[in-house]
Copies of this chain bind each other. A is one copy, B any other.
Amino acid sequence: MLHFLFRFGLLKFNMSQITIVDLAETLGLSKSTVSRAFRDSNDISAKTKARILAKAEELGFSPNLYASSLRGNRSQTIAIIIPEFGNKFFSQAIKGIELVARSKKYHTLIYVTDHNVKNEASIVRSLVNGRVDGVLISASGEGKDHSHLQALVDHNIPTVFFDRSYDDFRGHFVTGNDFESSRLATQHLIDNGCKRIAYLVINQNVSIGKIRMDGYKRALEDNRIAFQEELVLDTENDETENKAAIRNLIRTYRPDGIFASVERLAISAIRVAQEENLKIPDDLKLICFSCLDITDLLNPSLSVVKQPAFDMGKQAANFLFQSLDKPTEMVEQQTTLLESSLIFQDSSQRIRISKKN
């Protein structure tokens, strides 16, 4: 009785204290019946269900998430783990993921590792105790030790990688057809007269760094241009350092073309070129991976490999929900490649294309 009064008292100030028991009492039903009204149960008559839902709406009640998760061992939550937030690729991908998740009535946790594998590991560790039902992740860097991923396997948490993966990860991976795009981008530079093409890579040991380099190398081979280690610049996560390294590369090895594996390295390259009084594309041609939607407004307009970020997010999420729906079917290692578009603009072309024509 005291309990009831207490609850009743609270009610006035904090409706979150309503439970199915309260609802059941109000309606003269049992709590199981009320519970059934909120599940997809067909052990309940349509009228009763309607009556319960109406009352719930009236009282602003919805079932306590933690109680049902504890009971049912489901969290209705997934996690996204990404290395950074700096570019349109990730915001678009997240948008796609969140869209799919919401359509499935799932909630989405977001984590940013800042390209730090240690952070990635600690985040993963914080997820495996039931916090999430599944994980979408874009790998954060090299690190020989990916044992933190094992925890996801051990706890049967379906995991899908997107864009960036680890070599030793076995499971679903959704990414772009980066090898081919990189080959074509490099070929394009060659077609436009480049002989000394530098490759700017974010991290040679993470999948995209390596695969994009492979495409680059293949294009060189195809054209009997010798691969030169000096023209490959493996960068860090710091813009100032990167600019210095690019400046050094430009001064020392005088590339006539640059293929940048990520957008921000291309931006740094543009800035360095300006400072070094090099004209793009006349002195230096440039193409990069980017999902920026205003490359046409840059000066010069920027040639890019544009990944289908939004679709990649959606696809990755769809695969994840497939695994969640049928947890029994173990998905074998499987990689899905989505087509990127190559957009050739002024930054990479020998003959300037006039905009108005």
Give the B-binding residues of A (Cβ under 8 A).
Answer: 13-16, 60-67, 69-70, 75, 77, 80, 85-86, 90-92, 94-95, 98-99, 102, 107-112, 125-126, 128-131, 151, 154-156, 267, 270-271, 274, 277, 294, 297-300, 355-356
- Cβ of B109 and Cβ of A108 under 8 Å apart? yes
Query: What residue of chain B has the Cβ atom nearest to residue A71's Cβ?
Result: B66
Residues of chain B lying within 8 A (CB to CB) of residue A277:
356
Residues of chain B lying within 8 A (CB to CB) of residue A130:
16, 64-66
Docked complex Cα distance between A64 and B98 (Å)? 25
Docked complex Cα distance between A120 and B16 (Å)? 19
Docked complex Cα distance between A65 and B271 (Å)? 47
- Cβ of A274 and Cβ of B64 under 8 Å apart? no
Query: What residue of chain B has the Cβ atom nearest to residue A15's Cβ?
Result: B154
- Cβ of B66 and Cβ of A128 under 8 Å apart? no
Quick one: which of B66, B86, B102, B125 contacts A62, CB cutoff 8 A?
Answer: B125
- Cβ of B70 and Cβ of A156 under 8 Å apart? no
- Cβ of A110 and Cβ of B108 under 8 Å apart? yes
Residues of chain B lying within 8 A (CB to CB) of residue A85:
91-92, 94-95
* A217 nearest CB across to chain B (Å): 29
* A118 nearest CB across to chain B (Å): 13
Quick one: which of B13, B128, B274 contacts A355, CB cutoff 8 A?
Answer: B274
* A329 nearest CB across to chain B (Å): 15
Residues of chain B lying within 8 A (CB to CB) of residue A16:
128-130, 154-156
Task: Tell me whether A75 and B86 are in contact in the complex, defined as CB-CB below 8 angstroms, given that A131-B107, A154-B14, A155-B14 are known contacts.
Answer: no
Known: A62-B129, A65-B130. 15 other contacts (CB 8 A): A60-B151, A60-B154, A66-B70, A66-B130, A77-B109, A85-B95, A98-B112, A107-B126, A108-B110, A267-B297, A270-B297, A274-B355, A294-B298, A297-B298, A299-B299
